[in-house]
Structure 1
Amino acid sequence: MYSTKSAIFQLIVLLGIAGTAQSQTRQLLLALSKADHTLAIVDPATLKIMARVPVGEDPHEVIASSDGKTAYVSIYGGGALHEINVINLVAKKPLTNVDTRPLYGPHGIEFSNGKVWFSAEGSKAVGRYDPATGKLDWSMGTGQDRTHMLYVSADAKKIYTTNVNSGTVSILTSTTVTFPNGKPREDWSQTVIPVTKGSEGFDVSPNGKQLWTAASEDGSIAVIDVESKKLITTIDAKAVGANRLKFTPDGKMVFITSLRSGDLLIYDAQSQKELKRVKVGKGAAGILMVPDGSRAFVACSPDNYIAIIDLKTLEVTGHLEVGPTPDGLAWAEQR
């Protein structure tokens, strides 16, 4: 009797361990090499490259699906190309590409509400791809020059984008309209907010209240109130060559990279004052915040490495090499 109870107990323990293992998520760092035309899949714990998957001729941005099993890479070509690459992150191999025509120059890319959203710079528009149907199912023009970076709210009801050459930020808002026959449809409206020309990198605060964008030409930072859709203030940050901007996961700090100087500027989000400047290389571009708030990865394209920043000490703790001219970064959590 004792041995039977013992065996049952051991089986329960083993099943519990197996269930725990299955419930754990696997985290991946995704990093593009623009020169090698590859997507590196990296174990963020060991910083070991698990695989390199070939992508198109001018990869710029990457995003992962909600389940972390698929990656999508925008193939930009200065606004002339028309392709999104699809990568199976489990098998670590490319899948069938998405032809974005008639939308050209996909750049900024997001995954929200089960769909892939992208800016189409060459077409002055934003588009949407549905992986379930394999089709582009929506697009909207901005009428602005160089519709470039992109942010989509979790409920996919708001889209934010910077229009670099127009010096504007577009906020696209969706409402549901019901036809007389009872069928609903999406009704989108656009608000265009003037900022400084050259505003490119931007982010929305984790609480969804503010949008910050940095201008490469004069190095200023525009702060927009999301609810009123109005410019609150412009900070003379002297971040000339500003390329990307990201809030830390707790919303307390803002990181701005300069592709021209190689500086990483760190701002206090509440006081809007500079906390520190960190020299990360000759030029700094893509920024990725680790969701747990421990580290940030900064792609230093001219230096051919990714700088690793400790978010507590705000110091460079190491470098990661994924291939020449790294830029777009993303985080994947496989469930």
Structure 2
Amino acid sequence: MKNHNIATTFSAVLYFVCMMNCHAQTGKKLLLALSKADHTLAIVDPATLKVLGRVPVGIDPHEVVASSDGKIAYVAIYGGGTLHEINVIDLVNKKALPTIDTRPLFGPHDVTYVHDKLWFTAEGSKAVGRYNPATSNLDWSMGTGQDRTHMLHVTADARKIYTTNMSSGTVSILSDTVIQPPPNAPATAKPRTDWFQKVIPASVGSEGFDVLPDGSKLWTAASSDGSITVVNLRTKTQEKKIDAKVMGANRLKFTPDGKYAFVSSLSTGDLFIIEVSTQKQIKKLSLGRGAAGILMDTDGTRAFVACSADNYIAVVDLKTFEVTSKLDVGGVPDGMAWSIAK
């Protein structure tokens, strides 16, 4: 009987350890997905594709990002450029926290989290803004002077910002530059930081874009003429315009190895797969009536594509380029992001 009790206790301990490990593994990396129709943020286990919880958000959620520790999510409430809120979600307890008021910046659309700060486009104000969670205030902003400043990328060192300006048909490169005092400046003068903008022509409707993993080039796809503009980020010039025929283009994302570009079409529902080295289309998947947000898996195995018009997210195998499953996170899915706990 004593041995039986020891065995039973040992089994119980093993079960508890297993459950704790399983929870830690599934909780370490989470897929975050927005539903525009349901006004919710779905928290998904990427291993099982099971929805672990849903948290209500504002009336027009577009893009989402997680903090660097994976504990907080930020959701831009866009409203066609008229609203002024970013929702804050506690991912651990799956509940809403006090909302960020972005005024005087209006129309927050895209969001990213770099150097422990939240960066966002403010389309209604033709600007980019930055929020500091440590001080709970907006601590920096810069205007682009371009129409519909929409999507956003901030380099890891937070010294350069790339945006697409849809209606102007341009790409903005904002550079953080240290300015030295002039030779005749007082001895007490110190170097100061200023930001400069370089505006690069693209096509009207250039919206979705991505930066190659080596940081050398930016590709942006235009809904108006189906072209892809290639920007050389080292020379800050337009390198080429590819007649890719990706009509109705909405988002563009590179695979983690930088070999392929995925472009979704909101008007046709197609997913175009383009080989970066040859700049040629190698495959086109018909996903439904309208494809939008794209998220690459961090391990390089899958892509998640929001089929907004059909109310599901398609999971695409990055080796076969075939749809392997579909994920339901609510009506009109769009913006997605990863939360990786640290």
Equivalent position to 1:278, from 285, 288, 299: 285
Determine if the alignment matches structure 1 residue 289 to structure 2 residue 296. yes
Determine if the alignment matches structure 1 residue 200 to structure 2 residue 202. no
Distance 2:167 2:41 in 1: 29
Residue by residue over 1:143-200, the C-alpha shift from the partner in whole angstroms, topping out at 9 and shown as x without a partner, is 0000000011111111000000000000001023467646664311000001111100
Structure 1 residues 98-113: aligned runs within 5 Å? 98-113=100-115
Provide the aligned length of Structure 1 versus Structure 2: 320
Distance 1:66 1:246 in 2: 21
Distance 2:80 2:59 in 1: 11
Determine if the alignment matches structure 1 residue 55 to structure 2 residue 69. no
Distance 1:84 1:178 in 2: 36
Q: Tell me the CA shift for residue 281 of structure 1.
A: 1.2
Distance 1:23 1:173 in 2: 40
Distance 1:208 1:116 in 2: 21
Equivalent position to 1:39, from 30, 41, 57: 41
Structure 1 residues 1-335: aligned runs within 5 Å? 26-177=28-179, 181=188, 185-335=192-342
Residue by residue over 1:223-265, the C-alpha shift from the partner in whole angstroms, topping out at 9 and shown as x without a partner, is 1100001111111111110000000001110000000011100
Q: Tell me the CA shift for residue 108 of structure 1.
A: 1.0
> 1:10 aligns to what?
none
Secondary structure of the residue aligned to 1:78 is helix
Evaluate the alpha carbon distance shift between residue 183 and residue 48 of structure 1 in structure 2; reply closer, same or farther with a 3 A threshold. Answer: farther
> 1:4 aligns to what?
none
Structure 1 length-normalised TM: 0.92
Secondary structure of the residue aligned to 2:320 is coil
Distance 1:199 1:301 in 2: 19
The amino acid that maps onto 1:163 is: N
Secondary structure of the residue aligned to 1:97 is strand
Distance 2:305 2:65 in 1: 16
Evaluate the alpha carbon distance shift between residue 71 and residue 182 of structure 1 in structure 2; reply closer, same or farther with a 3 A threshold. Answer: farther
Structure 2 length-normalised TM: 0.90
The amino acid that maps onto 1:39 is: L
Distance 1:105 1:302 in 2: 23
Secondary structure of the residue aligned to 1:156 is coil
Q: Which runs of 5+ in 1 are unaligned?
A: 1-13
Q: Tell me the CA shift for residue 53 of structure 1.
A: 0.3
Distance 2:95 2:193 in 1: 35
Distance 2:151 2:124 in 1: 13
Evaluate the alpha carbon distance shift between residue 133 and residue 271 of structure 1 in structure 2; reply closer, same or farther with a 3 A threshold. Answer: same
Distance 1:293 1:84 in 2: 30
Distance 1:86 1:240 in 2: 35
Distance 1:309 1:186 in 2: 44
- Root-mean-square deviation over aligned CA pairs: 1.9
Evaluate the alpha carbon distance shift between residue 329 and residue 316 of structure 1 in structure 2; reply closer, same or farther with a 3 A threshold. Answer: same
The amino acid that maps onto 2:90 is: N
Distance 1:51 1:201 in 2: 28
Q: Which runs of 5+ in 2 are unaligned?
A: 1-13, 182-186
The amino acid that maps onto 2:255 is: T
Distance 1:185 1:130 in 2: 20
Distance 1:23 1:54 in 2: 25
Distance 1:255 1:150 in 2: 17
Distance 1:137 1:177 in 2: 20
